[in-house]
Structure 1
Amino acid sequence: MKNLSIIVFILALLNTLESLSIDLYLPAFPSMSKIFQTDIGHIQISISIFFAGFAIGQLLWGPLSDKKGRKPMLYCGLILFIVGAVAIIFTKNIYVLWTMRFLQAFGGSAGIVIGRAIVIDLYDKEKAVAIFSKQSQISGIAPIVAPLLGSIFLRFWGWNSAFSFLSILGALTLLLVVRYIPETNSKLTSPKTTANEIGLKEQLRIILSNRDFIINTIIGSIAFASLIIYISNAPLLFMEIHGFSSEVFSFIFAFNSLALILAAYITPKLIQRIKNIKILLSATILLLSMSSLHLLVSLCQLPVGLEVVVLFSSLIAIGILFPITTAHALSPFKEGRGTAAALMGFMQLMVTFLMSGLVGMLEAKSIIPMIITRIALAMIAVYFAYYTFSRKKVLA
């Protein structure tokens, strides 16, 4: 077995590529709109296209990694990611930008879905939660430093330097995968598994009929949607409603992002003392409580400092839910873990698309639609967490 710390670092780096690909070039939007001779709205479409490529890509890479192996599919995905990033450096055509962003996301999604499968291949449920938490600690740095790093790139080297950095980082990640990541697909490493191999249709049936997978995927999807809804509405909240400058907003955004790292740090310690299902239920209740308190703070126009604390606490709950729901959703399967990871990732993105789209349609220079949507999502998460808690308690 390769060194565990190296494996965790590389898998976290695969996650980081996604965050950096979204956040790193945000400061360059005004400059890009001039270079591409279009409005900022057309540049923003590249983010939506990136998410579309990411969602579709996961559906492909997961099943392929079950059939062809984890490492070959990682190679293919990272190469596509690098090609997409390099092509963007040299283009000034908005349609080429959109196409290459889709390719970049399509390839980059391999790292997320296969990385989850690798962890489940190697470790049991309890250890997997700890590993996912360690990954979150490392990859959680990205949303903190990305806007600042993107501003530096833009100032000294221009808009396309962000994609130069992404292509270099992608190439470095590929070399690390080649050198340090083992092939963990037991179907390829064990000669006796081919006789019992099942088809994709049967795998999907088994996965979708598993109650733990469905419930934890729903809760994990709600946590992810709640996070993205906050991120996409943070500029409206802090810059337009509260009137803070972009510099102050960056500081507040970075501070709240620390909550995800803090949650990733405390989760492994919590699972050593408290049963996972109790942590799951407590985290959903915390998310609901903080989201509800946020509504009170907003309606009563209480100090913005209290609002930041409430949001920070809700992000801690989300950060705790990520590793636990991922490990619990994927651990039940001896085969088809890549397919299960793909379905989980796809469902997370679909829920996020639907909910963020709903908030976008309801928004009218108000933060209330965001808050109410997060409350509704948290209520659903509490329901499913309590249902699981009650069922496990009865079976115990």
Structure 2
Amino acid sequence: MKNLNLVVFILALLNTLESLSIDLYLPAFPSMAQIFKTDIGHIQISISVFFAGFAFGQLLWGPLSDRKGRKPILYCGLLLFITGATAIFFTSNIYVLWAMRFLQAFGGSAGIVVGRAIVIDLYDKQKSIAIFSQQSQISGIAPIIAPLLGSVFLKFWGWNSSFAFLCIMGLITFFMVYKYVPETHVKTDLSTDAENERGLKDQLKMIITNRDFINSTMVGSIAFASLIIYISSAPFLFMELHGFSSGVFSFIFAFNSLALITAAYITPKLIKRINNSTLLFTATIVLLIVCALHILIAAGNIAVALEIAMLYLSLLAIGILFPITSAHALSPFKEGRGTAAALLGFTQLIITFLMSALIGFLEADSIIPMVVARAGMALIAVWFGYRIFKTRTVPV
């Protein structure tokens, strides 16, 4: 088998494409609004559309990877991702932007869902947590450098140069998958369509009735939604509300993103000393406390530095939750791991899409809807985290 460290790096690179696709063009929102002859709100919709594409794409790619193998699905997804990024480079029409962002995300979602399945194919539960953490350390660099890099692209080559960069990254990743990633799942599509359909229904029933999967998926989905709501609201919070330039915004965004790398670094060390379920439950409590404090700080307009601190601490808790919830949700299944990974990703993105849409509907010139929504979701995460902690079904 190929060098597994290199495989882990390539799988992390597939995750990085998602982060880059979101964070790279954030500093260009005001410029894009002028070029597309619209407002920032319509440009921000391209993020919501992106997540919708990611959600529905995973529903397709996950089950297909169980039937057709992992690598063919990665090829198809990356080709769609490259096509979408290339089309965006040449457009100045807001509707084409939305459509191609959906296509780009639909294809890019293959890397996320299949990458998770490959990790579970290769490693046991405890090792999977460490591998997911390693991937988070690598892919966590993207939110740090992406806004800074996007600001440079915007200054010297214009807003669409970010999508040229994404196209190049997609091509490089395609080559690395072809060259170095092994096929970890034997094809099972020799049966009839009817048998495949019955098999998929049986897999779905098995997955959605599994308590570990439901509880862990809900905590992970809430954590992911909280992260993305912060990302999509960050340009409004720092550039519109607090009046920072795109350059200063990029540095603030990069600082907060360090929390994800820090969390990915400390999580494998913590799980050697603390029971997985205890660490997960503790992280949800920390997230709730920090989000509640953020409401008070934002409502009192106390200090932007405190807002940044609260966001950093919330991202630290979220970063701890990501690898644990992914491993807990997927490891119970010997068959249908691609389908389970698809349902995990779909749930994450649908919750994110719904919450983002709700905040967009409520938000006017205030950040309060965002911070209240994050606190409310954290409270729900504590409930599901308690269920995991109470049952202690996950061994150390």
Residue identity over aligned pairs, in percent, reads 72
SS at match of 1:62: helix
**What value does the CA root-mean-square deviation take over the aligned residues?**
2.5
CA distance in 1, matches of 2:280, 2:394: 17
CA distance in 1, matches of 2:35, 2:157: 14
| 1:289–1:9 Cα change, 3 Å | same
> Does the CA contact (< 8 Å) of 2:276 and 2:395 recur in 1?
no
CA distance in 2, matches of 1:239, 1:268: 36
Q: CA deviation at 1:263?
A: 0.2
Residue 212 (structure 2) pairs with residue 207 (structure 1): no
Which residue of structure 2 aligns with residue 265 of structure 1?
265
CA distance in 1, matches of 2:370, 2:114: 32
| 1:97–1:79 Cα change, 3 Å | same
Which residue of structure 2 aligns with residue 192 of structure 1?
none
Deviations 1:28-65 (A, max 9, x none): 34444454455554443332222221111110000000
Which residue of structure 2 aligns with residue 287 of structure 1?
287
CA distance in 2, matches of 1:90, 1:395: 52
Which residue of structure 2 aligns with residue 97 of structure 1?
97
Which residue of structure 2 aligns with residue 374 of structure 1?
374
Which residue of structure 1 aligns with residue 83 of structure 2?
83
Give matches, 1:196-345, under 5 Å.
Answer: 199-345=199-345
CA distance in 2, matches of 1:298, 1:89: 37
Which residue of structure 1 aligns with residue 192 of structure 2?
none
| 1:44–1:306 Cα change, 3 Å | closer
| 1:97–1:371 Cα change, 3 Å | closer
Q: CA deviation at 1:151?
A: 2.0
CA distance in 2, matches of 1:29, 1:370: 19
CA distance in 1, matches of 2:326, 2:76: 24
User: For structure 1, which segment, 35-44 or 138-147, has the greater mean C-alpha deviation from structure 2 after superposition?
Assistant: 35-44
Residue 134 (structure 2) pairs with residue 123 (structure 1): no
Give matches, 1:344-355, under 5 Å.
Answer: 344-355=344-355
Q: CA deviation at 1:275?
A: 1.0
Give matches, 1:141-156, under 5 Å.
Answer: 141-156=141-156
CA distance in 2, matches of 1:158, 1:44: 18
Residue identity in the other structure for 2:341: A
Q: CA deviation at 1:90?
A: 2.9
CA distance in 2, matches of 1:233, 1:362: 13
> Does the CA contact (< 8 Å) of 2:238 and 2:249 recur in 1?
yes
Deviations 1:157-216 (A, max 9, x none): 233222221111101101100111111114559xxxxx9996111111111010100000
CA distance in 2, matches of 1:271, 1:364: 42
Residue identity in the other structure for 1:75: Y
TM-score, length-scaled by structure 2: 0.92
> Does the CA contact (< 8 Å) of 2:8 and 2:135 recur in 1?
yes
> Does the CA contact (< 8 Å) of 2:114 and 2:338 recur in 1?
yes
Deviations 1:67-122 (A, max 9, x none): 00000100111111112222223334443333322221111110000000000111
CA distance in 2, matches of 1:30, 1:300: 28
Which residue of structure 1 aligns with residue 357 of structure 2?
357
Q: CA deviation at 1:378?
A: 1.1
> Does the CA contact (< 8 Å) of 2:216 and 2:328 recur in 1?
yes
Q: CA deviation at 1:394?
A: 12
TM-score, length-scaled by structure 1: 0.92
SS at match of 2:273: coil
Q: CA deviation at 1:339?
A: 0.6
Deviations 1:217-266 (A, max 9, x none): 00001101111222222333334444433333222211111001100000
> Does the CA contact (< 8 Å) of 2:328 and 2:394 recur in 1?
no
CA distance in 2, matches of 1:26, 1:238: 12
CA distance in 2, matches of 1:359, 1:68: 39
Q: CA deviation at 1:133?
A: 0.6
> Does the CA contact (< 8 Å) of 2:283 and 2:318 recur in 1?
yes
CA distance in 2, matches of 1:148, 1:24: 8
- Number of aligned residue pairs: 393
CA distance in 1, matches of 2:395, 2:167: 50
SS at match of 1:351: helix
| 1:355–1:258 Cα change, 3 Å | same
Q: Gaps spanning 5+ residues in structure 2: where?
A: 190-194
| 1:394–1:136 Cα change, 3 Å | closer
Residue identity in the other structure for 2:137: Q
Residue 85 (structure 2) pairs with residue 56 (structure 1): no
CA distance in 2, matches of 1:245, 1:161: 20
Tell me which stretches of 4 or more aligned residues in structure 1 moved more than 6 Å.
Answer: 195-198, 393-396
CA distance in 1, matches of 2:325, 2:389: 13
| 1:250–1:118 Cα change, 3 Å | same
